[in-house]
Amino acid sequence: MSDNATAARRSAIYLLDQILGEGRLLPECLAAGALDRLAPDDRARAQRLTLQTLRGLERADRLLDNHLNRTPALTVRNALRLGAVELCLGEAAHGVVNSMVEIVGRSRKHGRLKGLVNAVLRKVAAEGPEAWPKMRVPRMPDWLREPLIAAWGADAVAGMERTHFAGAPLDITVKPGATGPGEALPTGSLRVHDAGQVSTLPGFAKGDWWVQDAAAALPVRILAPRAGETLLDLCAAPGGKTLQLAAAGATVTALDISDSRLEKVRENLKRTNLQANVIAGDALEHQGQYDAILLDAPCSATGTIRRHPDLPFAKDGSEFAGLIALQTQMLAHAWTLLKPGGRLVYCTCSLLPDEGEVQIEEALDQHPDMTVDREALKISGVDQEWITPEGGLRLRPDYWADLGGMDGFYIACLNKSA
Ligand SMILES: C[S@@+](CC[C@H](N)C(=O)[O-])C[C@H]1O[C@@H](n2cnc3c(N)ncnc32)[C@H](O)[C@@H]1O
């Protein structure tokens, strides 16, 4: 057992405590410096362990509950969960058990439980690896599962859960004229399995490509930006779509309310040698007139669980109503910024119809000068069965199951009368 492995495990347990105990999202914890003291390799390991544990949490709990008479404090339970997941995924038992015993043993508050940790993990080491693959695929919590079953049916939700459990490969969007690593997907994005450290992949440092889920690359393909157009990216950070717009040669204004998130947009523009006018501000107060607008509205992000398994644990659905109201307001304001004859693409990385299909049905009722453009959705690799009755595009994690899935998204292209 190396000290580094124990340090990575200790940090992973801290992250699990924050997510499962405090309701904080993993990116928030990372932005607050949770892993800053670790070396880059250990930081990557701590993150990987945290994600693996969250994906397998339901199975780990079922295995552990067989050997626990009462539930220990959360941080001890998280050490057991992490240990159980590592053991079941094939990590050597002595390393995992010794690490967890050391971590819990050093705690002033819980040190007396190190014997329990040792005994329970040894039992999991003996029976867990064989039991693990026979256990059911972990489910989403009911607050999310129930509305998704109502929207898409039980089979679709089971498919989504299989993709969430499998995790996500790395998808990239390549700058026009450049090349990148990975296999081509039907829509033109590239996919790299087991990517490792992104910054060491060929072409990254040169700015030939950027990381972007294949589904997230479609809103800009649907908007089809043209050189010389004035384009507004209303909710731009961290900027994957801004880069696509800028790469088309358009004059791009990239706005976001979060200046700290815009730092990522500036970094990415610099690395890829692309240009955009980056502005920190509230979309609801922005003024101007544009040929085309991309509104990638803030949402529940429920389409991104395969990349962000922390989300169902840190959230409880209580913020949905506020987000839905904000999306309605943003769409109404964005419409006033669009020139007559212009087009607006509305999208969210949500699986909930209230943040997609319903927003567009209501907007079409309220704006006599708005029509939905179904032709814009006819792009290569997009299955025409994914088009919804009101004329948007519904993408789900259970699509492309044999290729490794895609993020959930809703996209609609709206035309304004001339
Ligand atoms: C879904 S993310 C955008 C992702 C981005 N388009 C991309 O492709 O990388 C939503 C963004 O909306 C921003 N946001 C939330 N409320 C906003 C507001 N009132 N005005 C402008 N941006 C806002 C958030 O800071 C967040 O960066």
Which numbered atom of ligand 1 lies nearest the CA of 299? 1
DSSP letter at 281 equals: S
pLDDT at 2: 59
Last residue of a domain, one of 119, 134, 149: 134
pLDDT tens digits along 210-229: 999 999 999 999 999 999 99
Indicate the pLDDT class of residue 1, thresholds 50, 70 and 90. very low
* Euclidean distance between CA atoms 244 and 399, whole angstroms: 23
Q: Whose CA is nearest to atom 13 of ligand 1?
A: 235
As a whole-number percent, the residues of the chain with pLDDT over 90 amount to 97
Instruction: Verify that 121 and 229 share a domain, yes or no.
Output: no
Span of 2-6, 292-296, 297-301, 397-401 with lowest mean pLDDT:
2-6
Indicate the pLDDT class of residue 150, thresholds 50, 70 and 90. very high
Ligand 1, residues 189, 234, 235, 244: which to mutate, most atoms within 8 A of Cβ? Answer: 235
Integer-rounded Cα Rg, in Å, for the chain is 23
Query: Is 252 a pocket residue for ligand 1 (Cβ < 6 Å)?
Result: no
Q: Is the pLDDT of residue 3 over 80?
A: no
Residue 161 lies inside a defined structural domain of this protein: no
Instruction: Verify that 205 and 62 share a domain, yes or no.
Output: no
Q: Total structural domains in the chain?
A: 2
Ligand 1, residues 257, 263, 302: which to mutate, most atoms within 8 A of Cβ? Answer: 257
Ligand 1, residues 234, 244, 256, 409: which to mutate, most atoms within 8 A of Cβ? Answer: 256
pLDDT tens digits along 340-388: 999 999 999 999 999 999 999 999 999 999 999 999 999 999 999 999 9
What would the mean pLDDT of 312-335 be, rounded to a whole number? 97
Q: Identify which has the larger pLDDT, 411 or 41.
A: 411
Residue 68 lies inside a defined structural domain of this protein: yes
Residue 153 lies inside a defined structural domain of this protein: no
Parallel, antiparallel, or unpaired for β 338-348 and 170-174?
unpaired
Mean pLDDT of all residues belonging to the chain: 96
pLDDT at 194: 87
Query: Is 282 a pocket residue for ligand 1 (Cβ < 6 Å)?
Result: yes
Instruction: Verify that 246 and 393 share a domain, yes or no.
Output: yes
DSSP letter at 390 equals: T
* Structure token pair of residue 162: 């299989």
Instruction: Verify that 99 and 234 share a domain, yes or no.
Output: no
| Peptide bond just before 238 cis, omega within 30 deg | yes
Last residue of a domain, one of 114, 134, 154: 134
The CATH number assigned to the domain holding 33 equals 1.10.940.10
Residue 231 lies inside a defined structural domain of this protein: yes
Instruction: Verify that 269 and 400 share a domain, yes or no.
Output: yes
Instruction: Verify that 214 and 91 share a domain, yes or no.
Output: no
* Cα-to-centroid distance, 261 and ligand 1 (Å): 9
Last residue of a domain, one of 111, 134, 157: 134
Query: Is 235 a pocket residue for ligand 1 (Cβ < 6 Å)?
Result: yes
As a whole-number percent, the residues of the chain with pLDDT over 70 amount to 100
Q: Is 349 assigned a catalytic role?
A: yes
Indicate the pLDDT class of residue 4, thresholds 50, 70 and 90. confident
Name the region of 188 (left: φ>0; alpha: ψ -120 to 50; beta: rest). left
Residue 162 lies inside a defined structural domain of this protein: no
Q: Is the pLDDT of residue 148 over 50?
A: yes
237 labeled binding residue: yes
Instruction: Verify that 179 and 108 share a domain, yes or no.
Output: no
pLDDT tens digits along 151-199: 999 999 999 999 999 999 999 999 999 999 999 999 999 999 988 889 8
pLDDT at 168: 95
Residue 189 lies inside a defined structural domain of this protein: yes
pLDDT tens digits along 43-79: 999 999 999 999 999 999 999 999 999 999 999 999 9
| Complex-level ipTM beyond the 0.95 threshold | yes
Instruction: Verify that 212 and 127 share a domain, yes or no.
Output: no
Instruction: Verify that 313 and 180 share a domain, yes or no.
Output: yes
Instruction: Verify that 188 and 123 share a domain, yes or no.
Output: no
Catalytic residue among 88, 299, 349, 413: 349
Residue 383 phi/psi, 5-degree rounding, is -70, 125
Residue 254 lies inside a defined structural domain of this protein: yes
75 is in which domain, residue-wise? 3-134
The residue type at 1: M
What would the mean pLDDT of 269-295 be, rounded to a whole number? 98
Residue 141 lies inside a defined structural domain of this protein: no
The CATH number assigned to the domain holding 219 equals 3.40.50.150
Q: Is the pLDDT of residue 134 over 50?
A: yes
Query: Is 325 a pocket residue for ligand 1 (Cβ < 6 Å)?
Result: no
Instruction: Verify that 118 and 175 share a domain, yes or no.
Output: no
Instruction: Verify that 41 and 113 share a domain, yes or no.
Output: yes
Query: Is 263 a pocket residue for ligand 1 (Cβ < 6 Å)?
Result: no
* Cα-to-centroid distance, 282 and ligand 1 (Å): 10
Query: Is 296 a pocket residue for ligand 1 (Cβ < 6 Å)?
Result: yes
State the pTM of this model: 0.95
Residue 302 phi/psi, 5-degree rounding, is -70, -10
Query: Is 353 a pocket residue for ligand 1 (Cβ < 6 Å)?
Result: no
